[in-house]
Amino acid sequence: MNEQEREIDLFEILNLFRRHIYLFIAIVIIVMTFTVAQLYRMERIYSATATIEIEPQAINILGGDIELIRSGVDSQGNFISPKDYYTTQYEIIKSRAVSQKVLEMIPTEDVFNYLKGNGNGNKTKSKQVNENNNIDLVSVMQQKISAEPQKNSNIVRISVEDKDPEKAAFLANAVATAYIEFNLEKKYFETKDAARWLVDQSASLKQNLENSELALFEFKENNNVLATTFEAKQDLLSKQIAKLNNILTDEEIRRNALSAKIEEYANIDFDNPDESLFYKLSKEDNVIGNMMKLKYLEVISKIDDSAQIYGEKHPKVVALLAEKNNIIAMFKKEITGILNSYNVDLKMLNNEMKKNRKMLSETQEEAIKLKKLDIDYSKLKREVETNKKLYGIVLERSKKADLSALLKNNNVRMIDRALVDKTPVKPKIETVLFTGFVVAIILASLLVFLVEFFDTKFKGFKDVETISQKSVLGVIPRFQPIEDSKFREIVFDVKNKQTMAVEAFRTLRTNIKLINPDSKLRILLVTSSIPHEGKTIVASNLAVSYSTVGKKVLIVDADMRKPRVHKVFGLSNEKGLSTLIVGEHSMDDVLAKNVYDGLDVLTAGIIPPNPSELLESARFADIMKDFAVKYDVVVIDTPPLSLVSDAVIVAPLTDGMIITVNVGETPRDVFKSVVQNISKSGISFLGTVVNNVETRQEKKFKPYYGYSYYNSYYYTSEEDETSAKKKQYS
């Protein structure tokens, strides 16, 4: 949609409201009057607000390890997020429990009438009302309460609405007080319940402790660890095992040394004793070893000397050799004694080591057994320690819980008490009036559109053009018949001063010519949708308009049902078109010559019983051909299109059809149906003539075109055609 179309739509809407301005204003006034009346009748509601602070948890007077019930932790010890915690508190404020406590604070026995604002009454009457109406007073109280948290703070505003400002203030303070008491009672009972549970648990834990201690004692008794502690016995066995290991290690070293010595002495070569033999012997017995060594060396020396002097077989040498053998025998005997001694020591050492190994094995077995017992012992001991610790904690907590229950420690406190505010919060006058005004505008607009929707009359020229899809060729103003004129309904009469109507018909004539400047429209059919739209007057004045510019014009009254052309021109209707078609009269007999300057008239004649058949006859077609030859312009007046088909029958014999429309009378749906029918018939539809337009209507329709058909630039005197065109298109 382009800018021009948008502008036209806006003009249409504005014009729509302009047409129904009085209806629109009336509806707005009625609705606003009703709104003001209702506003006056509405009950005044007052509000009072008390301010409280809700801390996440109360101040812990007894210390960090004493508080049992904390805000932000539920009864199972699960953490609650701050958002969920505060949301829960807002719901508690509006809960039935708090409302019930508020009802108990109301200083009257007639709670129902107090809440409803019906004044004070007695208790019996209140009960009767409640029973009859089954009223839930707690729900009534709940509906009055609202809790509004303040952003980024722990502050909550508790508001109560009531018809009485003093009651509203009292109830707001009562709700705040009831919530504080409810929160305190909740903590008290939770703490008392915890203390009771702790006492019950302490008795059970005490019994468990005694049973575990008895089980530990019996275990030590059964395993013979009563004289000392279980740990001391384990330590003793560990030391004994270490000691035996050390003894065995030393004995192993001694045995290895003895074995080495025995092996060393067992490998001695007594036939060729050397220095090492005497060294080994001296290590065992220094005196004997040195003495034998000296004797052996002395004998060897003597043998060497005697052998050199006496020879080897000399008796002296032989005696010395025998002495040498005796010394070696003594060596053997001494070494054998030493070996025997070492073997005895080795045997004794082996026996001792065997005994120690057995003792070590027994000790280790005992230690392993004790280690196994240590598992059960440790389990029993841990159980004793755990029960002892739990019993101590629960016993301490139960005592401190009793003390905590006695403290009125609360995390909710009053900040500001509600004050009496005598300014009503409901109804909001500005909001109600504004809403009423908006509703009035909407309702008035809807009613205007509804009236417009059911109004079947044309609203302006654009309606005619939109439905017909053709331009409006002319707009004929309403004019008064000229009583003292020969042709009362012809505006071109010399005595007529209605120049606006004259110029309207001249404009119509010019617009018809401009439809197709290259072709001549000689035969024009003028009709209407329904009767009484002024088609005959339009046809007659249009014919006269052509005659005033020197055209030879004929007007034919083809409305052989309700003819009127003869009345317009003051002629007889005894003969005419009907008698001409049937051949009763000739052309010259039926034509009224030069009725107006240059204008001939053919009246309808006697009304026949079959007008449609006459118009469909070949005779009528021939007559129309003759008219087209003899006259410059032929204007034919036919019956309305919605009633009969006469106009549709005649139309193919003409150069074009013009439909007269009375915007104040013609129904749009009828006109639309007529246009659709002639469009289907293939008839040449030139356009429409809007007839009988009053001055105020012309002004009403002016916004569709942006100008008036009767603005001052139109000429107002009798002028020739050339002068008229110059002024019209200048």
Would you say residue 649 has pLDDT above 50? yes
Specify the range with the lowest mean pLDDT, choosing from 365-369, 629-633, 657-661. 365-369
CATH of the domain spanning 471-729: 3.40.50.300
In this predicted structure, the answer to whether residue 511 has a pLDDT above a threshold of 80 is yes
Closest CA to 577 of 555, 558, 564: 558
Distance CA 187, CA 407 (A): 10
> pLDDT value at position 157?
93
Mean pLDDT for 707-728 is: 37
**What residues are paired with 527 via a beta bridge?**
659
pLDDT per residue as tens digits for the range 93-112: 889 989 888 988 888 877 88
Give the count of beta carbons closer than 10 Å to the beta carbon of residue 692. 21
Q: Is the pLDDT of residue 384 over 60?
A: yes
What's the confidence (pLDDT) of residue 700? 47
Output 65 or 712, whichever has higher pLDDT.
Answer: 65
Q: Which of 474, 473, 490 is nearest to 482 (CA)?
A: 490
Instruction: Provide the pLDDT for residue 606.
Output: 92
Residues paired with 601 in a beta bridge: 555, 592
The one-letter amino acid code at 189 reads: F
Model confidence pLDDT, tens digit, residues 706-717: 333 433 333 333
Does the pLDDT at position 608 exceed 50?
yes
CA dihedral 706→708→709→710, nearest 10 degrees, is -160
Calculate mean pLDDT across residues 535-546. 93
Tell me the pLDDT band of 288, cut-offs 50, 70 and 90. low
Give the model's pLDDT for residue 278.
57
Cα(247)–Cα(238) distance, rounded to whole angstroms? 14
pLDDT(221) > 80: no
More confidently predicted of 273 and 90: 90
Preceding omega of 427 cis (within 30 degrees of 0): yes
715 vs 527: which has the higher pLDDT: 527
Q: Kindly report the CA angle at 143 between 142 and 149, in degrees rounded to 5?
A: 80
Residue 722: its pLDDT value, please? Answer: 39
Q: Where are the beta strands (DSSP E) in 267-366?
A: none
Query: Tell me, what's the pLDDT at 78?
Result: 52
Give the percent of the chain with pLDDT over 90.
22
Beta strand 46-54 pairing with 155-162: antiparallel
Look at 405 and 621; give whichever has higher pLDDT.
621
The answer to whether residue 460 scores a pLDDT higher than 80 is no
User: What percent of the chain is predicted at pLDDT more than 70?
Assistant: 78
What average pLDDT does this structure show over 418-439?
87
| Average pLDDT of the residues of the chain | 78
Provide DSSP, 377-423.
Answer: HHHHHHHHHHHHHHHHHHHHHHHHHHHHHHS---SEEEEE------S
Q: How far is residue 635's CA from residue 322's CA, in Å, rounded to a whole number?
A: 198
Joined together, the tokens standing for residue 467 give 């439905």
What pLDDT score does 57 carry?
63
d(CA 563, CA 134): 82
**Distance from C-alpha of 563 to C-alpha of 569, rounded to nearest angstrom:** 12
Least confident window among 24-28, 63-67, 296-300? 63-67
Taking residues 543-570, report their average pLDDT: 92
Q: Find the range with the poorest average confidence among 297-301, 425-429, 656-660.
A: 297-301
- Max mean pLDDT among 76-85, 285-294, 303-312 falls in 303-312
Which of 375-384, 409-418, 623-632 has the lowest average pLDDT? 375-384
pLDDT-derived band at 286, boundaries 50, 70, 90: low
Query: What confidence score (pLDDT) does residue 353 get?
Result: 85
Instruction: Give the domain ranges of the chain.
Output: 471-729
Between 229 and 416, the higher pLDDT residue: 416
The answer to whether the beta carbons of residues 635 and 553 sit under 8 Å apart is yes
Do 634 and 577 meet the contact criterion of CB atoms below 8 Å apart? no
Q: What are the tens digits of pLDDT across the range 190-216?
A: 666 666 676 777 777 778 877 887 877
| pLDDT value at residue 40 | 82
Q: Is the pLDDT of residue 63 over 60?
A: no
pLDDT in tens, 572-586: 999 999 999 999 999
Q: Is the dihedral of CA 185, 187, 192, 194 positive or negative?
A: positive
Is a pLDDT exceeding 70 seen at residue 151?
yes
Residue 313: band (very low, low, confident or very high) from pLDDT cuts 50, 70, 90: confident
Contacts of 104 (CB under 8 A, 6+ apart): none
Report the range of poorest mean pLDDT among 385-389, 496-500, 660-664.
Answer: 496-500
Per-residue buried b or exposed e for 318-347, using 16+ beta carbons within 10 Å of the residue's own CB: eebeebbeebbeebeebbeebbeebeebbe
pLDDT at 705: 38
pLDDT level of residue 488 (50, 70, 90 thresholds): confident
Task: Give the integer Cα–Cα distance in Å for 9 and 721.
Answer: 37
Quick one: pLDDT band at residue 26, thresholds 50, 70, 90? Answer: very high
| Residue 284 pLDDT class (50, 70, 90 cuts) | low
Q: What is the mean pLDDT of residues 143-171?
A: 89
476's CB contacts (< 8 A; 6+ apart) are: 501, 504, 505, 508, 534, 538, 541, 689, 690, 691, 692, 693
Can you give the pLDDT at residue 681? 81
pLDDT higher than threshold 60 for residue 152: yes
For residue 689, pLDDT over 80 is answered with yes
Q: Which pTM was predicted?
A: 0.47
Residue 413: pLDDT band with limits 50, 70, 90 = confident
Q: In this structure, what token pair is assigned to residue 386?
A: 């755990």
pLDDT of residue 567: 92
Strands (E), 59-187: 145-149, 155-162
Phi first, then psi, for residue 554 (nearest 5°) are -130, 130
CA dist 360 and 244 (Å) reads 6
pLDDT of residue 60: 47
Between CA 664 and CA 476 the distance in angstroms is: 13
Quote the pLDDT of residue 71.
Answer: 46
